Amino acid sequence: MTDTTEEAARKQFEILLSKTESERFRIGDELSSFGIRVLKSSIRNELPGISETELKIEVFRRCYQKDFSPEEMERILQSMRNYLNG
């Protein structure tokens, strides 16, 4: 679903292509960072008092839940807990 007209999307793409490789990388990095901040905020709203370790784990789970089977995901999350808790 999109609320952007085809013309506006085309113009956005043109503007992006007019940027240097470094500028495009920086824009992508900023957008990615923004998305992670929004996700963390959403998780904190849903799970007040969540620890930083569990927040990192929940971010990973939500970002990659479709990439792994439930069994693989649990194994990965447990490994993350072990690593992050030292």
Quick one: pLDDT band at residue 12, thresholds 50, 70, 90? very high
Task: Residue 42: name the closest of 27, 26, 62 by CA.
Answer: 62
Q: What is the dihedral of CA 19, 21, 25, 26, to 10 degrees?
A: -50
Task: Residue 32: name the closest of 61, 58, 67, 63 by CA.
Answer: 63
How confident is the model at residue 86, as a pLDDT?
85
Residue 35 sits at the vertex; the CA angle it makes with 29 and 36, to the nearest 5 degrees, is 90
Task: Report the SS3 class of residue 53.
Answer: helix
pLDDT digits (tens, 9 = 90+) for 52-65: 999 999 999 999 99
- Report whether pLDDT(79) > 90: yes
- Report whether pLDDT(14) > 80: yes
Q: What is the DSSP letter of 11?
A: H
